[in-house]
Amino acid sequence: MELILVSLLLISLVTLFLFLPLIILLLSTRKESNTLNFPPGNTGWPIIGESLEFLNTGRRGVPEKFIHDRMQKFSYQIFRTSLLGEPAAVMCGPTGNKFLYSNENKLVQAWWPSSVYKIFPSTGQSSSNEEAIKMRKMLPGFLKPEALQRYVQTMDTIAKQHLKNDWENRKEVTVLPLSKGYTFALACKLFMSIDDPIQLARFADPFAILASGVIAIPINLPGTSFNKAIKASVLIRKDLEKIIKQRKIDLAEKRASPMQDILSHMLLTSDENGKFMTEMDIADKILGLLIGGHDTASAAITFVIKFLAELPHIYNEVRREQMEILKSKGSREFLNWEDIQKMKYSWNVACEVMRLAPPLQGAFREALANFTYNGFSIPKGWKV
């Protein structure tokens, strides 16, 4: 009996010794969390947080409702929530935006949810900030505004074809899906020189599934948007890798131009260490560019048409400006950069529409260190 008691005592002491550091850590963490002054708010359900409401307001076309409701309930400067499995602090208004932008890569840096890294595997090899810097270095000639001069005729051609096939002689049109079809076709042409209708149609459905699941609750179970997006990305990536392999052959045999599109540029451009991107990395980058411009551009087009329909006096001024440019062109003549420069009123309308109805809900950032804002504590690792 005594032997058993001694054994139990020894086991208890060893267990306490082994777990003592963990106990101390938990107690110190709890003590520290009690001293922190977190922003007011509600973190919602475990793991899911308030993600469902955040995503649903976006799908309903009123993403600002999620923010405004919590500003009224908690604070007009900052509130706490939980999105996509992460604790988050939302800084509101011009002051909050100025604070974030002025502290970029100091207190905060760009961040994307884990769902993005699982859908784009090669992206997970480096941070979001590194990826952004890499892309800016890689594509200066294609992403600068002046590069648009080379694309005006292509845009005009695709727009005319799109309007003729999908808009003319229709009693009713649903603008958003048609706009998505147009922007997707345009992006495929500019990024990869793809204009084959059969190939575009094969991409369309899985790409739509992928785009809707990129920002989703990262639960990989059959039937979830996230699971469907992962499967769709695998299908699209296989097709893209075939296209990339063929382009390599075409470039080697001089059947493709080095400045033909973004794909050729990626294949022939190395980083500062002389290293070229892998085919998988290029496929992910192309996919990212397609998604980045797909929903935003189509949403902007849709809202422009919505506001023009609601404001006839604005529509008449836009139409007058466009008709003046049309009268200066020949019947078979394409738009050029000089014509675009004349569209001052139309451009102001487009900018005002994007101010009233931003095509992007927002971006995520991650706190690089503990800091305070407006008297509230933001711990390192929180999303803002």
CATH 1.10.630.10 spans which residues of the chain? 139-310
pLDDT in tens, the chain (384 residues): 443 433 433 444 344 343 444 333 333 334 444 567 999 999 888 878 898 898 888 777 787 889 999 999 999 999 999 988 889 999 998 899 899 989 988 999 888 877 777 777 765 555 555 666 666 666 666 666 667 788 899 999 999 999 999 999 998 999 988 998 899 999 999 889 998 888 888 888 888 888 878 777 778 889 888 899 899 988 888 899 999 999 999 999 989 888 888 899 888 887 777 888 888 888 888 888 888 777 788 889 999 999 999 999 999 999 999 999 999 988 889 999 999 999 999 999 999 999 888 887 667 899 999 999 999 999 999 999
The CATH code belonging to domain 139-310 is 1.10.630.10
DSSP string, 87-148: EEEEE-HHHHHHHHHHTBTTTEEEE--HHHHHHSGGGGGS-HHHHHHHHHHH-HHHHSGGGG
Pairing of strands 86-91, 78-83: antiparallel
d(CA 68, CA 74): 10
pTM: 0.76
Q: Sign of the CA dihedral 57, 63, 65, 70?
A: positive
Q: How far is CA 222 from the centre of its chain?
A: 24
Q: How far apart are the first and last CA of the chain?
A: 60
Tokens matching residue 367: 């706190």
Are 370 and 380 in contact, with CB atoms under 8 Å apart? Answer: yes
